[in-house]
Amino acid sequence: MTKLGPDAYTTCAERLRLLRRSARLSQIYVAIELGVSQATISSYECGLTHPSIEHLVLLSQIYEVSTDYLLGLTDVSKMQPLSAYSNQDREEIKKYLTLPDQKKALIRDLIHHL
């Protein structure tokens, strides 16, 4: 399991600010969507406070990214739907999902070292 380090909070703040700006949304708009003040959104984006789990989920929905992306656990902001992959890729994904955990770990290690 990946632990969140101090950099995760900085990454989250930076990503929240960049995502809001790239979506051309105001802090006030996001605040209304979350039911909080504009000052709360500002403090999230400055890294002074951290969003609750509920707010993190809502923010991920507003910006259409994963919570893992917001937290800095991945640099992939949006996951592709399964239909975006070739038939061969989908079959390999299905095979992977049926593997025992030990074999999945071996494959993840192999991919990590590529």
d(CA 71, CA 9): 7
> At a CB cut-off of 8 Å and minimum separation 6, what does 75 contact?
69
Residue 90 belongs to some domain of the structure: yes
99: left (phi over 0), alpha (psi -120 to 50) or beta: beta
pLDDT in tens, 66-109: 999 999 888 887 766 677 778 888 888 888 888 898 998 898 88
Whether 76 maps to a domain, the answer reads: no
Query: Does any domain span residue 19?
Result: yes
Same-domain pairing of 53 and 14: yes
Same structural domain for residues 62 and 102?
Answer: no
Number of domains observed in the structure of the chain: 2
Together in a domain, 16 and 46: yes
Is 70 exceeded by the pLDDT of residue 112? yes
58 in helix, strand or coil?
Answer: helix
Convert the pLDDT of each residue in 15-64 to its tens digit. 999 999 999 999 999 999 999 999 999 999 999 999 999 999 999 999 98
Residue 78 lies in a domain: no
CA separation for the pair 92, 101 (Å, rounded): 16
Rounded to the nearest 5 degrees, what angle is found at the Cα of 89, between the Cα atoms of 86 and 90?
85
Structural domain includes residue 36: yes
**Structural domain for 89, as ranges:** 83-112
Neighbours of 71 (CB within 10 A): 19
87, 66: one domain? no
Please give the model's pTM, rounded to 2 decimal places.
0.65
Task: Please tell me whether residues 62 and 89 are part of one structural domain.
Answer: no
